[in-house]
Each structure stands twice: as C-alpha cells, then as structure tokens.
Amino acid sequence: MARPNPTASGETAVRARPVGLQFGATVRRVAGRLPLHLSIIGLVALWSIPTIALLVSSFRDPGLVVTSGWWNAIKDPFSLTLDNYETVLDQNGMARSFLNSLIITIPSTLLTILVAAFAAYAFAWMKFPLRNFLFLVMVGLLVVPLQMTLIPVLKLYVSLNEWFGFLGHDVPLLGGRWFGTNSYAGIWVAHTAYGLPFAVYLLRNFFGGLPRDLFESAYLDGASDFKVFRRIVLPLSMPAIAALAIFQFLWVWNDLLVALIFLGDPDRAPMTLTITNLVSSFGTSYQLLTAAAFISMALPLVVFFALQRYFVQGILAGSVKG
C-alpha cells in the first residue's frame, strides 16, 4: 500500500492558497467598484429619460400628448402612430431641410479636417519662421466669440462679390450663387474657418506625439513631406481625426446662428432653422415638435455611436506628449 506523500499534499495546499486569496481579492475589488458602477448606470438611465420621452411623444396622438404623460404609451403601445413624422416631412419641408443640412454639414466637416490636417502637420514637424508664434495666434482665436466676427465676415463677402463679379453668378450645381451670403459655398467656408482653430490644435498635439524615429527613417529613405503625411501620419492619426469629425459634424449640424446669418433663403435652410419656424408656427403642437427634434438628432446619434471607439482616444490626443 502506497504511503501518502506529505510533500505533494503540502504543495497542493500551498498552490491552492493563492487561488483562494486571488478569488477573495477579486470579489472585494468587484464589491468595491459596485457602487461606482451602479452610480454610472443610474446617471446613464437618468440622462436617457429625456431622449426616450422625446421618442415616445413623437409617435403619440395629439390628444394623448396633451392629456397624459408619455409613460402611459407603455401601457397602450397600439396607440402609437407615424402620422406626426408624415406631417413634418411632407407638409413642413423637413425632408428638404434634412437634405440641406447634409449638403451643409458634410462638406464643412471634410474641408475642416483636410485643411486642419495639413496645417497641423506643418506646425508639428515642418520648420519655418514664426512657427510657434503663428500656432499660438491660431490657438488664441479659440477665445474670440463667434458673434464678433459675423459683421466683418459679411462685409468681406460683399467686398469679394464686388471685386470678383463672377462670384455672384448663379451656379446650377450649387442651386444658387457661387459664393457669398445665401450660398452653400459661402457657409462651407464660414464653418471651415470657425472650426479650424480647435481642429488644428487637436491634430497638432496628436501629430506631435508620434514617434520621431518614424519620420527620420522615412526622410532617410527619400520620402517627401507629402508622402510621409499620407503614408505615416494619416494612418496613425485616425483616432484623432475621427474624434474631430464627430465634434465638427455635431457643431455644424446643430448650428443655428451661422445658418441664420449666411442663409436667408428658406429653400436652403437647414433643419435648425426649420425647427425654429415650427416652434413659432406650431407652439402647441408638441407632437410635431418632438418628431422634428428626433429627426434632427437621429443622424448625429448614428455618427457618434459609429465612431465612439475613437472618441476617448481622440480627446486625449497629445494630452501628455506633444
């Protein structure tokens, strides 16, 4: 009969002890974070209530919206209807305004990213006179209120149309004049200019944090600045570019002031202007206002959730090194 090996059993006990300790430490760590997780879940649920209420109210009958709360729709889901969306899209021009918002927002976002990426690369890695001074001046423009620039920019647009007569001619592709007020090209340039200071600041910090060895190796291999920018900088900077795209898209999509100043034609009005007119025309038609508001916020939500994995990385770009 074989004797039990005390050494082996001792080793088993010694090995089992850390496993138990590790399990206990894991339980204590999870229990310690439980209040934090519950608080975050509670805040998210509380923050989501207005959006849920807006969505539910947009599908309710006008009489029910006035007489009962939105939570009553949960008891009677068959009372929900699509009539509010049909009314807003067909009768109040929201479909055309949605298209106008896309025409304004997409080029404004792409132009801002394109110009800011080139400028940020120059400020981060190219040597030229007054580089740091010019960068500080551009960053300083972040503190200038947008309202102070509206009248000078409008005067500049008028002067350009006077100096270059062809800028005031109609272009069928743009649905109006080539450049200036009441034109798509004019508001593209305005949104691009207003978005450049922050965009250059964000991308420059990210570009400056890239490893210098990559650039030195590329330059030794005979690569030009444009090739380095295209082959090295852009692929490595997608988190920052995606975060910038989210910011710029949301700013332009939700803009009211710039669109109100630069676009006076109702046929070119974005959704923010159309919703403002709905508020004045249908102040008591809450179901129409909620439907219009949810149409306006649906696309930004899709853009944000599609690019959310880049969001935190892009916000923290260059926060430590740059």
pLDDT tens, residue by residue, 128-185: 898 889 999 988 888 888 888 888 888 888 787 776 665 655 555 555 555 667 788 8
244 with 188, same domain: the answer is yes
217 with 177, same domain: the answer is yes
CB count, 10 Å around CB of 157?
A: 20
Picking from 106, 41, 56, the residue whose alpha carbon sits closest to that of residue 303 is: 106
* Distance from the Cα of residue 38 to its chain's centroid: 28
Q: What is the pLDDT of residue 248?
A: 92
Picking from 187, 45, 39, the residue whose alpha carbon sits closest to that of residue 106 is: 187
By residue range, what is the domain housing residue 63?
Answer: 16-79
Picking from 104, 144, 143, the residue whose alpha carbon sits closest to that of residue 259 is: 104
Is the entire prediction scored with pTM above 0.75? Answer: yes
What's the rounded mean pLDDT across residues 260-270? 82
pLDDT digits over 65-88, tens only?
777 778 887 777 777 888 888 888
54 with 128, same domain: the answer is no
In the listed set 56, 79, 102, which residue is the last one of a domain according to the structure?
A: 79
Report in angstroms the alpha-carbon separations of 104 from 26, 119, 271, 272. 52, 23, 11, 12
Backbone angles phi, psi at 195, to 5 degrees: -90, -10
* Distance from the Cα of residue 210 to its chain's centroid: 24
User: Do the Cβ atoms of 64 and 79 come closer than 8 Å?
Assistant: yes
Domain annotation covers residue 5: no
Domain annotation covers residue 104: yes
288 with 162, same domain: the answer is yes
pLDDT digits over 187-241, tens only?
899 999 999 999 999 899 888 888 888 888 888 888 888 888 888 888 888 888 9
115 with 74, same domain: the answer is no
How many structural domains comprise the chain?
Answer: 2
Domain annotation covers residue 178: yes
